[in-house]
Amino acid sequence: MSTRNANDDAWSAVNRTSQAVAALRWLEMLLHGERALVRDRCVPLLLPEGRFPRADMAGVHIPENLHGDIVRIAAWLRDARGEPGAARLRAHVDRLALRTARIDAVLGEYLRDIRQLVIVGAGLDTRAFNLAAAREATIFEVDFPHVLAFKAAQLGGLRLACRARVEVACDATAADLSQRLVEHGFERGAPTVWLVEGVFVYLDAAQVAAVNASLAALSAVGSRLVATFIGARSPETFSRGMVTRCDDPAALLAPWGWHVHVTHYADIAREFGRDFPPGDDFYLALSAPRAASCTG
């Protein structure tokens, strides 16, 4: 298992992003109320005292006079459309909400037949507590030990929406990911839904390949992959550490035995009646059920 060590800086850079994602979910609910695309009863627990504890959220500087207060940040976003920082953060909120809503719907469909969901780089994903469609599923959450420990401390007492939630505390790029999953009860012979949401962009090419090799090695016939990617010309969204940009997820994933359909977020935005900034290339890749001949 990886432990915190000299890589602390790199680790905290990636982990900050999971906190920002939780804050963006909360902002979507505050900004859109009943019409929000996201409903997450857990976010107030993930941001204790209703505060975002950092000066920057998703690469946007939060004015000091808001003191990180989520309700005040929402008011700032509502009232300051002409202000560049607020406009950028609103775009992040929209993007995150679109991604979450679409993936929730896709999981709802896939989990009718598949009982095993592995969330790679789960961060502060709360589907294990919120996603009704997961009631028959076991959800494995893979992330660094201290991310999962924080989450367990905050959400530990909540009732699960899924059959079981299993924490797999490790570096997902390590060669022993497969072994660690199997040790935690992953069933090799059963089909799996793999969710890699907001993660590949933080990994370099060798790490992306390592994750894909582990997933391919464990994917029984009928498995599905759901993954998100950020294109080369999109501006930095989380301010640092965005390494792997990709405008052709189908080509990236094909060598690993996945045949994917790729949707640009602008198309998802149209479907949900939201604006989407021109020049932002974000993609959702959904695989066909894995075929017997695909060995990765």
Ligand X SMILES: C[S@@+](CC[C@H](N)C(=O)[O-])C[C@H]1O[C@@H](n2cnc3c(N)ncnc32)[C@H](O)[C@@H]1O
Residues that bind ligand X (CB under 6 A): 14-15, 17-18, 21, 121-125, 142-144, 147, 171-173, 197-199, 202
Nearer to ligand X, 124 or 133 (CB): 124
In the complex, minimum distance from the CB of residue 50 to ligand X, in angstroms, rounded to a whole number: 19
CB 121, min distance to ligand X, A: 3
Q: Alpha helix (H) ranges present in the chain?
A: 8-32, 43-46, 70-79, 84-110, 127-130, 145-155, 177-183, 205-218, 249-253, 265-272
Q: How many CB atoms lie within 10 A of CB 256?
A: 22
Q: What share of the chain is helix, strand, coil (3-state, %, to 5)?
A: 45, 15, 40
Smaller CB distance to ligand X: residue 241 or 277?
241
Classify residue 82 by burial, with Cβ atoms within 10 Å: 0-12, 13-18, 19+.
exposed
In angstroms, give the least distance from the CB of 14 to ligand X. 4
Strand 164-169 to 138-143 pairing: parallel
**Alpha-carbon torsion, ordered 260, 261, 267, 268, to 10 deg:** -60
How near is the Cβ of 124 to ligand X at its closest, in Å? 6
Name the minimum Å distance from CB 8 to ligand X.
13
Residue 158 DSSP one-character state: S
CB atoms within 10 A of CB 27: 28
Question: Closer CB to ligand X, residue 161 or residue 294?
Answer: 161
The CA distance from 167 to 89, in Å, is 31
**Residue 9 or 64: which CB sits closer to ligand X?**
9
Q: Which is nearer to ligand X, 103 or 294 (CB)?
A: 103
For the CB of residue 143, give the shortest distance to ligand X in the complex, in Å: 4
Structural tokens at position 279: 């020049």
Closer of 95 and 294 to ligand X (Cβ): 95
